[in-house]
Structure 1
Amino acid sequence: MSKKGKIYITLVLLTLFAIVAVEMTKPEPINWFPSYALHHKIPFGSYVFNEQLERVSNDVTTVERPPFEYLSNNTISGTYLFYNGGIAFGKEELNGLLDWVSEGNTLMVSAVDFEKKLLDTLNLKTRTINITNNFNNKYQVKLVNPLLDNTTIYKYERPTTFFHFHEIDTVKTSILGFIDKYRGEQENSKTTLVNAIKQSFGDGEIILNTFPQAFTNYFMLNSPNQDYTAGLMSYINTNKPIYVDTYYKTGKKFYTSPMYLFLSTKSLKWAYYIMLIGVLIYIIFEGKRKQRAIPIIRPLKNQTVDFTRTIANMYYENGKHKDIAQHKIQHFLEFIRNSMYLNTSEINNSFIKNLAARSNNSIEDTQTLFKLIESFNKKSKIENKELERLNTLIEQFKTHN
């Protein structure tokens, strides 16, 4: 390898190691994935909520199975808590939950929006909040119960889509909280958009909230926002069992990918990347060093025609016209047998008529050709012109086929 090539390789390697060093020392970016998982400590995980819930209640059960399956196989009572960015139960599962609530239990669901059947059952309608004049995505929530300090406003400043209840059954529904665009410290803020309600259902009750971010680490660790979450939870009886759903969660509890260990650990991840880069460099330079030109192997030519022409010229130059004629006649008869499917062992009038019909030649031309062939068979010597005439008649015969 030349000196210039070694310099280029050294510069490339130094550049790669510099990039790796910068990436390894760069602060880990914040993971804003909306997980809502109980074990996640990322901003939108629920690790803090899970810890606080276990402090206020001694009977908390995490349910990892679908609620339809869990309720079918277990006799339980208390509060079933769901919160996630999106939750869709399905017809049969929702009916099972509603039957369970009507027996005197509590269903609490916090999601961005709700399925149509649940809203229709409770005579509710939702609508997205208009983001006009709120391009900074700043919102504020509050509770209405005077026992929960309804004067405090809790702020949320992350881009998202919010829904509110714009039609409710005022006879059966109690309003628990509002949500509104954040207008600033010195402006009037009339929180008129309902985002949390409670409604009786049979002997139990259903609590709905369109602000699931209230259960995330990001919201609860910004004081005094934890009071808002505590206020929502105050509507359920913590002395009874609480069942927290983990089935309808965006974040996974178990990672099935075999590369998760490598990619989740910073040092192992970069060791893996360096190995891939090294393999790539090895393939490029080692393959270039060992590669050689592949010779072009031309296919063998078919020499049959050339060989036949050579033999024919030898016969012709030696004046063996009789032999050439015999070969020509034999090839012609073979042509008739293979193409016309006629027996050439006996040449008679019936054979001439069938051959003329199958080859699109006239009977006269066919008879002329075979009379010439018959005359050749009787002669011991053939002249040059006679051989040419035989060839001409045979070629004309074949052109009509």
Structure 2
Amino acid sequence: MKKKPIYAILSVLLLLVVLVVASGNFASRKNEQSTDMTESSFYSKDKKAGGAYAAFRMLPQLFLRNSVQVVTKPFARTFDKDNEIKFRNNVYILVADRLFTTEKDVDAMLDYVSRGNELFIAVNTPDPLLEKTLKFVTVESSNMQFKKTGVVQRYADETIPMDTSFRYPGMVSGSYFSGVDSNTTSILGYNYKNKPNFIRIAYSRGYVYLLLNPYTFTNYFLLHHDNVKALETQLSYLADGASNVYWDDFYNSQHSAQSGDFSEWQVLMRYASMRWAVWLTVVLLLLYVVFESKRRQRIIPDRPPVSNTSLEFVDAIGQLYYQQHNNYNLAHKMIVHFMEYIRSRYYLNTNVLNDDFIASLSRKSAVPEEDIRKLLHMVHQVQLEENISDEELKDFYNRIQQFYINTQ
């Protein structure tokens, strides 16, 4: 029995060691792959090669009025809860590998743009629903670059004399637009295959920007030579005096179509440290249930009820006075104790022993009035007599004793 707590402690320690070693190996593998662009997160706080920490930190320098607000909920929910996003002159930036939206999200995005706002989307694969709504067609192609120093992104705008190319030895996006609505769409850039991959779509009073190369927002790309100018170029089309600037950190964590209602757990569980903490808590709770389910405290025995010692006290006093053959004092002691018993137990005044007193005592003690009347009459007789015989004392004692027994 005493060895069970020891086994429980050893099991917990062994589990902690295994988890620490596993997490260390996991972290080391992550560090070894820190320059692997195939697992880009595009997350604003990720400082690894595929993160967007550098781009996010640069945004306040590109927009004058406000600091950047991070969004961690679906667009439809943000648009419904945030009142300021419903006004005009706002900028919303969304960077992800694949864009998975719902019909509500797309409707909210278009409502947002139609009010005079700008939506900038940089993804490798747009959502088919958004593609159908905005009337453009994309072709997915390989994201691998075989030339280490080849051009990965080129910006060319027919409205202004600009033709700028950027290079870096990393992942590139081969996807491009094969069909657009020329009445509302302008081509702003091309991929390494010289295919259009950056467009601007006019929608009502606002604009939607679509860039099929999210790697231009990664740390590895921006920190290579002067590639930071690429970010400045593609964001130069947005209003630098925007009332509010939003950075989306929800869709870059979605790897499949959304199902059901959004929960904050979808955001929390994407972090490795949070997942480890949740599973460790579950395991520890299971161990606690297994080893502590059996009751360890001894059963507390039932405590016997406190017995009425009034009868024992009367017997002791009675034997003392009876041996001395002092019947008068013994009878008076019995009367005093009897009256005190009535006062303490039934809270009755014993100064006046009239009919009201008899009725009250009978009601509280459940003893018939006739028995109480006889007992009180005997009390009165004892108080008047100076000499009490043994037979009278015995009869008086039995009468009081019977009252005590009936009121137990």
Deviations for 1:347-384, whole angstroms, at most 9, x for unmatched residues? xxxxxxxxxxxxxxxxxxxxxxxxxxxxxxxxxxxxxx
- Counterpart position of 1:231: 233
| Root mean square deviation of aligned Cα | 3.4
Within 5 Å, which residues of 2 pair with 1:237-316?
237-240=239-242, 241-250=244-253, 252=270, 255-258=273-276
- Residue 36 of structure 1 corresponds to 42
Q: Which one of the candidate residues 78, 98, 104 is aligned to 2:116?
A: 104
Secondary structure of the residue aligned to 1:55 is helix
CA distance 1:28–1:118, change in 2 (3 Å): closer
Measure how far apart 1:96 and its partner are.
Answer: 1.2
The code of the aligned residue for 2:238 comes to: I
Displacement of 1:148: 7.7
Aligned CA distance change for structure 1 residues 34 and 149 (closer, same or farther; 3 Å): farther
CA contact (8 A) 1:39 1:253 kept: no
Contact 2:92 2:118 in 1 (8 A): yes
Indicate how the Cα distance of structure 1 residues 169 and 64 shifts in structure 2: closer, same or farther if over 3 A, else same: same
Report the number of matched residues.
Answer: 231
Report how far residue 257 of structure 1 moved.
Answer: 2.9
> Shift of the alpha carbon at 1:172?
1.2
Cα distance between partner residues in 1 of 2:116 and 2:272: 34
What residue identity is the alignment partner of 2:60? E
Partner of 2:190, secondary structure, is strand
TM-score normalized by structure 1? 0.52
TM-aligned CA distance change 1:149 to 1:45, over 3 Å:
farther
Aligned pairs for 1:2-401 (under 5 A) are 28-31=31-34, 32=36, 33-57=39-63, 58-59=65-66, 60-75=68-83, 76=85, 77=87, 78-129=90-141, 135-136=146-147, 138-145=150-157, 150-159=162-171, 162-181=174-193, 191=194, 193-240=195-242, 241-250=244-253, 252=270, 255-258=273-276
CA shift for structure 1 position 55: 2.5
Q: Distance in 1 between matches of 2:181 and 2:191?
A: 19
Question: Within 1, Cα distance between the matches of 2:56 and 2:29?
Answer: 31
Residue identity matched to 1:198: R
Q: CA deviation at 1:28?
A: 4.6
Aligned-residue identity in percent? 21
Corresponding residue of 2:403? none
Cα deviation for residue 116 of structure 1 reads 1.6
d(CA) in 1 for partners of 2:80, 2:31: 44
Once the two structures are superposed, what CA deviation does each residue of 1:293-327 show, in whole Å capped at 9, x if it has no partner?
Answer: xxxxxxxxxxxxxxxxxxxxxxxxxxxxxxxxxxx
User: Deviation at 1:65?
Assistant: 1.5
- Given that 2:139 and 2:175 are in contact with CA atoms closer than 8 Å, whether structure 1 keeps it comes out as yes
- Please give the per-residue CA displacement for 1:149-178, whole angstroms capped at 9, x wherever unaligned: 734311243346521001111121111101
TM-score of the superposed pair, with normalisation by structure 2: 0.51
Amino acid in the other structure paired with 1:126: T
| Residue identity in the other structure for 1:152 | T
**Structure 1 gap segments, 5+ residues each:** 1-22, 182-190, 263-401
Q: Which amino acid in structure 2 is aligned with residue 67 of structure 1?
A: F
The one-letter amino acid of 2:104's match is E
Residue 34 of structure 1 contacts residue 250 of structure 1 at CA under 8 Å; is this kept in 2? no
